[in-house]
């Protein structure tokens, strides 16, 4: 390709407005890739930590031990571990007040729902930025293209004779803005859809765990409410927080 039609030459020869648009798009693209890499490792870490906690939860360790470990881990643990800790904390507080079993389980469930929402807010952070980049970047690039074409035709109006050789550079300079806009938008679209799918899967796992854990708590308090012994099926679940 002729040197006059290289990308660098076209950018340097573009109008000031087009150059500003290109600089903005390149900055947005760099920020988008930064978010993509951070979000990839963040979601991957949350998924792996969730796998580890679920395996530990169903291994038969007592809920007391799991709760103490979750409190000690604090923000370094799994999102699911923090959801579990919130439910257990509320359950223990309500049990000290000797409320009825239904209130115990409902309170724990509400606490876990609130914790889940907090965790999802963190996991979904910056996802809206990718969506904005994916939807806006092509239009910003198109604006640069339209402006560049207008600038090129204004310059051509002063020429006595217009040929393809005189028209092509101006049009090529303008089209670079559209190309950069698509360069910024396409990875953002792909990453957004990829992360949205993974986040939906994590959400389903959190909700399934909360329902299963609520059922465990229900089985734990039901025998005591009726004055009977724990049910035979309860032994399939982690040991009771207070010992059975």
What's the pLDDT tens digit per position in 140-197? Answer: 988 888 887 777 676 666 656 656 556 666 677 778 888 889 999 999 999 999 999 9
pTM of the entire structure?
Answer: 0.76
Rounded mean pLDDT, 94-119: 88
- pLDDT of residue 74 exceeding 70, the answer is yes
Chain centroid to CA 77: how far?
Answer: 18
pLDDT band, very low/low/confident/very high, at 11 (cuts 50, 70, 90)? low
At residue 230 the predicted structure's pLDDT band, cuts being 50, 70 and 90, is: very low
On the question of pLDDT at 13 being above 70, the answer is no
Encode 37-69 in three state secondary structure: HHHHHHHHHHHHHHHHHHHHHCCCCCHHHHHHH
Share of residues in the chain with pLDDT > 90 (%)? 44
Identify which of 59-68, 147-156, 222-231, 233-242 has the greatest average pLDDT: 59-68
Residue with tokens 């799918």: 197
Confidence at residue 222, expressed as pLDDT on a 0 to 100 scale: 67
Kindly tell me the sign of the dihedral angle through the C-alpha atoms of 137, 139, 142, 143. Answer: negative
Tokens 């903005």 locate to 24
Q: How far apart are CA 101 and CA 162, in angstroms?
A: 86
pLDDT of residue 3: 45
Cβ-Cβ contacts under 8 Å for 214 (sequence gap 6 or more): 87, 105, 108, 109, 112
| pLDDT tens-place string over residues 22-64 | 889 999 999 999 999 999 999 999 999 999 999 999 988 888 8
Question: What pLDDT sits at residue 196?
Answer: 94
Q: Report in angstroms the alpha-carbon separations of 214 from 17, 61, 180, 207, 232.
A: 59, 17, 51, 11, 18
């Amino acid at each position: 390709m002729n040197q006059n039609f290289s990308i660098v030459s076209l950018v340097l020869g573009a109008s000031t407005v087009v150059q500003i648009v290109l600089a903005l798009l390149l900055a947005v693209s760099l920020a988008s890739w930064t978010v993509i890499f951070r979000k990839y490792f963040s979601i991957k870490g949350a998924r792996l930590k969730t796998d580890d906690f679920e395996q530990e939860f169903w291994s038969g360790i007592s809920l007391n031990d799991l709760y103490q470990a979750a409190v000690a881990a604090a923000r370094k643990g799994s999102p699911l571990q923090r959801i579990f800790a919130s439910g257990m904390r509320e359950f223990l507080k309500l049990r000290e007040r000797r409320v009825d079993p239904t209130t115990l389980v409902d309170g724990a469930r509400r606490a876990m729902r609130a914790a889940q929402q907090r965790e999802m807010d963190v996991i979904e952070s910056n996802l809206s930025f990718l969506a904005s980049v994916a939807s806006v970047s092509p239009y910003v690039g198109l604006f640069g293209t339209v402006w560049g074409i207008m600038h090129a035709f204004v310059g051509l109006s002063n020429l006595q004779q217009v040929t393809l050789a005189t028209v092509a550079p101006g049009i090529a300079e303008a089209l670079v803005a559209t190309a950069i806009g698509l360069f910024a938008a396409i990875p953002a679209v792909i990453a957004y859809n990829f992360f949205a799918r993974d986040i939906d899967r994590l959400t389903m796992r959190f909700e399934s765990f909360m329902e299963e854990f609520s059922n465990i708590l229900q089985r734990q308090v039901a025998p005591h409410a009726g004055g009977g012994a724990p049910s035979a099926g309860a032994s399939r679940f982690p040991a009771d927080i207070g010992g059975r």
